[in-house]
Amino acid sequence: MPANPLQPFFKQRGWRPFPFQKETWKAYAGGKSGLLHAPTGQGKTLAVWLGPVAEALKERPDGCSVVWLTPLRALAQDTLRSLREPLEVLAPQLQVEARTGDTTSAVRARLRKRLPFGLVTTPESLSLMLTHDDTREKLAGLRAVIVDEWHELLGTKRGVQTELCLARLRAWFPELRVWGLSATLGNLDEARDVLLGSAAPGAVTVSADLKKEIRIDTLIPKEIDRFPWSGHLGTRLAPQVVRELEKANSTLLFTNTRSQTELWFQELLSLRPDWQEVIAMHHGSLDRAEREKVEQGLREGRLRCVVCTSSLDLGVDFSPVDQVLQVGSPKGIARLLQRAGRSGHQPGKVSRVLGVPTHAMELVEFAAARDAALARHIEARRPLLKPLDVLVQHLVTCAIGEPFQPDAMRQEIQLTHAYRDLTDTEWEWSLGFISSGGRALAAYPRYQKARLENGRFTVDDKRLIQQHRMSIGTISADAHVSVRFASGQTLGTVEEGFISRLKPGNLLIFAGRKLELVRFHQRIATVRPAKRDAKGNVAIWGGAKMPLSTELAHATAARLRGEGPPSAEMKAVAPILEIQRRWSAVPDDRILLVEHTRSRNDEHLFVYPLAGRLVHEGLGALMAYRLRLNQGVAITQNDYGFCLTARRGLHLSEQIIRLNLSPDNLLEDVIACMNTAELARRQFHQVARVAGLILQQLPGRQQRGQRELQASSRLLFEVLERYDPDNLLLLQSQREILEKQLEYSRLRESLLDLQQRPIRLIETDHLTPMAFPLWAEQFFATMPGGGDAASQFEQMLQELQTAAAS
Amino acid sequence: MILEHFNQTLELIPGKAVLLADRTLVVGDLHLGKATAFQAKGLAIPEGDSSADLNRLGTICEQVRASRIVINGDLFHSPAGLSTEIERLLETWISTIGLPVELVLGNHDQKLARLPSWLTAVTSVEHAGVHLVHDPADAPDDVPVVAAHWHPVAKIADGKRTSLRLPCFLLRRNVLVLPSFGSFTGGAIVDREEGDRMFVAPGDRVIEVPVKLLR
């Protein structure tokens, strides 16, 4: 029995293996691959790790047996610690090391010579290893690859990169076993199939259902506002939050965006200045040293409260905290469960999360999230299909490592889930792209990356190899700007787009401080502390707003219909819903509620599909376009619906509304109305970087010879559009933008669904509680301009003249 | 658009060129062979600009009945981009255009080990009372100057919802800075100074941008 050799470890700890651990060990010993679904906690690590360890105890392997992939290099050190623990008792001779972007050059050099029994690394570093010609030899003893936090990689380009690397390893070592670890997902079986590709018959899914009890409560505001417009309650619940913080020793306060993190941190400090030392902030853009200090503080129990974003969603053995608070709707059920799991970490203990609503409708969302969590209606994560930028990068990676024969490589690639439907055209284009530039051969006279030699593709130019290795780590990383003081002290990074909107002298809040921008040059933003009395607009740096997930939207609709057990949240929000019912009707996802109302100058049409912000954005633009309202219409949206505002032309019949929400011609209309060309141009930056069209360089360290090889992705996009319009990367950025910015698939499904729903059109005298936030949004709304540059400029000039004349 | 500039008449042409009173057509920053230079370094950027840009320049010459062409610097992008194809392309073009072509050397041109022998190159030149030099930093301050080098771009926004980024002519004191002519060239948003005037041509005519719309 595989459990036997592991006995000493469990005995020493006084533990007994869980059934799911035994099940995983057995499956592993039987030569199977699979997916282990378990909540955070050490149990899952031991389940997948001790299988290979038990095998090693019997067979005394030489070299590297296990590669452990972790999505975040920040997790590598924690992982290392928890993998080493059992080895100290069971097999002190077995080594585990980490190799990531953070690894020191000394360790790196040692690892170049000889790999340890277990190697902890990231998808990028694994991909990088594939560019070395001795990797196959050095991994000759590889038995297993374990992919930690697979749910984090699934649906991302790094996930696809992982799929490709695994395909390579499987082609080298057909006996390889692959195990994934995943938190709860709505599509666990699909997640497993994506990880294992089509080459793993008899794969298993092991579920560690520890019957974890989860409690979701909500902080009920003392007086509910009549109108729940978003952000209205804001930080007003902060005093109540402080009282909750006082009750516990340690708290994680999760927010949805970095700007909220900054706001709440400031607010809590202003209420309790004496907490200066015991309250901290953690988000992905803070400097690594800063983050590590916070993590260490949590482990040592020095901190009373950490205000954080999803940057603390992950983590191997973060010391559990007493309680978790969630500010604002979690927007998804899986996210809420994962965050709840940060408290009561140990098996058997209750995980508890306390919701802090920032506007009244979020009370409903918290009640709905609880319903869905109890019923285990969790979001699915859809895998990405055929990102060609990742494929061409991988092909160059492979060609550098060891020359490949195209047919064999195609077979290998098509064993992955992402590329199983790769067409001849796409494959030939990809090969063409890495060798001669593209199908428009004449357009690339001087280009050559991979050469075909004796029927195999190879890359042997040293400079190109070096350049390619630099580009491997770039998947999914946005263009970031480092924020620092003139003294050189780094505060963290922000998206380039944020800083480029500011001018020197402007104020910003970042890393918990009020700062003034001094200079922005070569991807470094120099700042200084703002003077205390500094006035002017403060730019708060915010992450993207997440849309409500489909699952949570359904659960919310059910609550609005009055389903579900009685709850404090619904009781609190009842007066508002009552007004809504009296003046109009409560929206629901079985009907389509539409309100029409007039204000002094305008008409407003409020439509409530309950399909999430991004879908509503698409629907609003689509409807305005189809009604030919392009000039002089304002469109606003939130998670419940969208609103069109115009001088006239919105008094519509049910029939007209239905006609304008038809799914016919959707793609053409969306492309026409959403300025997708402009959006795709922006998206192209990432695609171009991954595909190797943009040279990578370290911020602030511009090499001289490279200066003349700089071009903006916008320019590249235009050049490709003009001279190589069949380049598939153009098509891909359009596809990506449709899915990412507009959730195109969900938009289409919504339209199909709306066709089935009866429409309830109500003429209202006042703005209803649901309408008010949409109406208020219009003062902040921005709209992509229509038409070409000339007509846009023309219109601006006209407006200016009109304004001057009046 | 006609601009009276220090007692000289300059005609701003929508195709990113300036016509002097003696019908000398001035353009700057063609960066021929830029895509080729990228390709040579393993970046798959399609070629096509160089010949398209030269054809465009030829058309403008015909339209305005130019008597001479001055390339105000950065005709070529880099040594790696000056391939024999590009050289031949340019030579053929010059012989068909049938006009005298002068090159004012730009910083990129100066990196080349050699220039095609049939090309006349100078560091600056004067035509119709206007001093032509590549880098605005080298402009004398008492005569009208047409320079290039900066690839100026105007950021135009109405402060509500529309924002545009358009290549522009920049007039600063006695110097008119040309937008870059080459289609595979980027641009830099102008750091505005008091008194700057900017002209753009999003359509088929040149328009001055009202200061209110500049960002």
What pLDDT, on the 0 to 100 scale, is given for residue A1?
44
What is the maximal distance between C-alpha atoms in chain A?
90
Q: How far apart are CA B163 and CA A153, in angstroms?
A: 36
Distance from CA of B133 to the nearest CA of A (A): 21
Q: According to the 3-state scheme, what is the secondary structure of A490-523?
A: EEEEEEHHHHHCCCCCCEEEECCEEEEEEEEECC
In-domain check, residue A541: no
What pLDDT, on the 0 to 100 scale, is given for residue A72?
76
In-domain check, residue A564: no
pLDDT in tens, A337-364: 888 877 876 656 778 899 998 888 889 9
Of the two residues B147 and A726, the one the predictor is more confident about is: B147
Going by C-alpha positions, the residue among B123, B129, B77 that lies closest to residue B104 is B123
Cα dist. A170→A34, A128, A140, A173, A200 in Å?
14, 17, 12, 5, 10
Q: CB neighbours (10 Å) of residue A48?
A: 26
Instruction: Taking residues B164-171, report their average pLDDT.
Output: 91
Instruction: Taking residues A674-690, report their average pLDDT.
Output: 74
Per-residue tokens: B122: 């100078």
Q: Which residue of B has its CA nearest to A796?
A: B158
Distance from CA of B87 to the nearest CA of A (A): 14
Q: Over 60: is that where the pLDDT of A229 sits? A: no
Residue B48 in contact with partner chain A when CB distance is under 8 A: yes
pLDDT in tens, A27-77: 999 999 999 998 766 588 899 999 999 999 988 888 899 999 998 776 788
* Chosen domain end from A374, A409, A426: A374
Q: Over 60: is that where the pLDDT of A564 sits? A: yes
For residues A222 and A362, state if they share a domain.
yes
% of chain A exceeding 90 in pLDDT: 39
State the pLDDT confidence band at B189, using cuts at 50, 70 and 90: confident
Cα dist. A717→A64, A218, A708 in Å?
43, 48, 18
For residues A201 and A219, state if they share a domain.
no
For residues A662 and A777, state if they share a domain.
yes
Q: Over 50: is that where the pLDDT of A543 sits? A: no
For residues A737 and A797, state if they share a domain.
yes
pLDDT in tens, A751-792: 999 999 999 999 998 888 888 888 876 654 433 344 566 777
For residue A715, which residues of chain B lie inside 8 Å, CB to CB? 184-186
Where is mean pLDDT largest: A122-126, A358-362, A613-617, B34-38?
A122-126
- DSSP assignment of A42-103: HHHHHHHHHHHHHHHHHH---S--EEEE-S-GGGHHHHHHHHHHHHHHH-TT--EEEESTT-
A723 contacts B49? CB cut-off 8 A: yes
Residue A261 belongs to domain spanning = 214-374
Among A440, A784, A793, select the one facing B202 at the smallest CB separation.
A793
Enclosing H/E stretch for A619: helix A613-626
Has this prediction a pTM greater than 0.95?
Answer: no
Distance from CA of B164 to the nearest CA of A (A): 7
Report the complex ipTM.
0.77
In-domain check, residue A561: no
Q: How far apart are CA A512 and CA A613, in angstroms?
A: 29
Whether the CB-CB separation of A151 and A182 falls below 8 Å is answered with yes
What pLDDT, on the 0 to 100 scale, is given for residue B131?
96
State the pLDDT confidence band at A496, using cuts at 50, 70 and 90: low
Looking up tokens 């407006």, which residue turns up?
Answer: A799
Domain count, chain A: 5
Residue B72 in contact with partner chain A when CB distance is under 8 A: no
% of chain A exceeding 70 in pLDDT: 84
Q: Which residue of B has its CA nearest to A460?
A: B42
Mean residue pLDDT across chain A? 83
Q: CB neighbours (10 Å) of residue B120?
A: 10
For residue B185, which residues of chain A lie inside 8 Å, CB to CB? 715
For residues A36 and A170, state if they share a domain.
yes
Cα dist. A536→A507, A508, A539, A549, B68 in Å?
7, 10, 9, 37, 53
Q: According to the 3-state scheme, what is the secondary structure of A646-690?
A: ECCCCCCCHHHHHHHCCCCCHHHHHHHHCCHHHHHHHHHHHHHHH
State the pLDDT confidence band at B106, using cuts at 50, 70 and 90: very high
A446 contacts B36? CB cut-off 8 A: yes
Among A461, A709, A723, select the one facing B46 at the smallest CB separation.
A723
For residues A60 and A89, state if they share a domain.
yes
State the pLDDT confidence band at A658, using cuts at 50, 70 and 90: very high
What pLDDT, on the 0 to 100 scale, is given for residue A697?
58
Q: How far apart are CA A338 and CA A315, in angstroms?
A: 11
Q: How far apart are CA A283 and CA A291, in angstroms?
A: 8
Q: Which residue of B has its CA nearest to A463?
A: B41
Enclosing H/E stretch for A135: helix A135-138
What pLDDT, on the 0 to 100 scale, is given for residue A701?
44
* Chosen domain end from A329, A348, A374: A374
In-domain check, residue A629: yes
Weakest-pLDDT range from A95-109, A589-603, B137-151: A95-109
List the single best residue of B31, B34, B41 to mutate versus A (max A Cβ within 10 A): B41
For residues A419 and A506, state if they share a domain.
no
> In the CATH scheme, what is the code of domain B2-213?
3.60.21
What pLDDT, on the 0 to 100 scale, is given for residue B144?
94
What pLDDT, on the 0 to 100 scale, is given for residue A418?
95
Q: Over 50: is that where the pLDDT of A700 sits? A: no
What pLDDT, on the 0 to 100 scale, is given for residue A783?
39
Instruction: Taking residues A427-453, report their average pLDDT.
Output: 81
What pLDDT, on the 0 to 100 scale, is given for residue A225?
59
What pLDDT, on the 0 to 100 scale, is given for residue A525?
82
Q: How far apart are CA B39 and CA A797, in angstroms?
A: 42
pLDDT in tens, A368-411: 999 998 888 888 888 999 999 999 999 999 999 999 999 999 99
Per-residue tokens: A547: 């849309």
What pLDDT, on the 0 to 100 scale, is given for residue A474?
64
A785 contacts B43? CB cut-off 8 A: no
In-domain check, residue A329: yes
In-domain check, residue A480: no
For residues A168 and A102, state if they share a domain.
yes
For residues A412 and A514, state if they share a domain.
no
Whether the CB-CB separation of A506 and A536 falls below 8 Å is answered with yes
Among B158, B183, B186, select the one facing A712 at the smallest CB separation.
B186
For residue A795, which residues of chain B lie inside 8 Å, CB to CB? 162
Per-residue tokens: A511: 């890393």
List the single best residue of A709, A713, A714, A720 to mutate versus B (max B Cβ within 10 A): A709
Q: CB neighbours (10 Å) of residue A16?
A: 9
Q: How far apart are CA B108 and CA A517, in angstroms?
A: 33
State the pLDDT confidence band at B150, using cuts at 50, 70 and 90: very high
Give the CATH number for residue A25: 3.40.50.300
Instruction: Taking residues B62-86, report their average pLDDT.
Output: 90
Write down the domain spans for chain B: 2-213
Whether the CB-CB separation of A393 and A691 falls below 8 Å is answered with yes
Distance from CA of B163 to the nearest CA of A (A): 8
Whether the CB-CB separation of B103 and B71 falls below 8 Å is answered with yes
Q: A-contacting residues of B 109-128, CB under 8 Å?
A: none
In-domain check, residue A405: yes
Going by C-alpha positions, the residue among A597, A567, A573, A565 that lies closest to residue A584 is A597
Whether the CB-CB separation of A12 and A89 falls below 8 Å is answered with yes
What pLDDT, on the 0 to 100 scale, is given for residue A673?
74
In-domain check, residue A248: yes
pLDDT in tens, A161-173: 999 999 999 999 9
Q: How far apart are CA A633 and CA A105, in angstroms?
A: 58
For residue B52, which residues of chain A lie inside 8 Å, CB to CB? 722
For residues A154 and A97, state if they share a domain.
yes
A715 contacts B184? CB cut-off 8 A: yes
Whether the CB-CB separation of A279 and A304 falls below 8 Å is answered with yes
Q: According to the 3-state scheme, what is the secondary structure of A195-237?
A: HHHHHCCCCEEEECCCCCCEEEEECCCCCCCCCCCCCCCCCCC
What pLDDT, on the 0 to 100 scale, is given for residue B111?
84
For residues A226 and A178, state if they share a domain.
no
A712 contacts B43? CB cut-off 8 A: no
Among B34, B46, B213, select the one facing A444 at the smallest CB separation.
B46
Q: How far apart are CA A205 and CA A194, in angstroms?
A: 13
Q: A761: which strand partners? A: A594
Residue B50 in contact with partner chain A when CB distance is under 8 A: no
B161 contacts A782? CB cut-off 8 A: yes
Instruction: Taking residues A408-417, report their average pLDDT.
Output: 96
DSSP-H helix ranges across A212-305: 238-247, 258-271, 288-300
* Chosen domain end from A171, A188, A207: A207
What pLDDT, on the 0 to 100 scale, is given for residue A341?
78
Q: Over 60: is that where the pLDDT of A230 sits? A: no
For residue B38, which residues of chain A lie inside 8 Å, CB to CB? 709, 711
**What is the CB-side half-sphere exposure of residue A136 using CA atoms within 13 A?**
14
Instruction: Taking residues A297-306, report their average pLDDT.
Output: 87
Going by C-alpha positions, the residue among A516, A433, A446 that lies closest to residue A690 is A433
List the single best residue of B34, B47, B110 to mutate versus A (max A Cβ within 10 A): B47
For residues A259 and A194, state if they share a domain.
no
> Residue A326: left if φ>0, alpha if ψ -120 to 50, beta else—which one?
beta
End-to-end CA distance of chain B: 23
B207 contacts A793? CB cut-off 8 A: yes
Phi/psi at A236 (nearest 5 deg)?
-65, -25
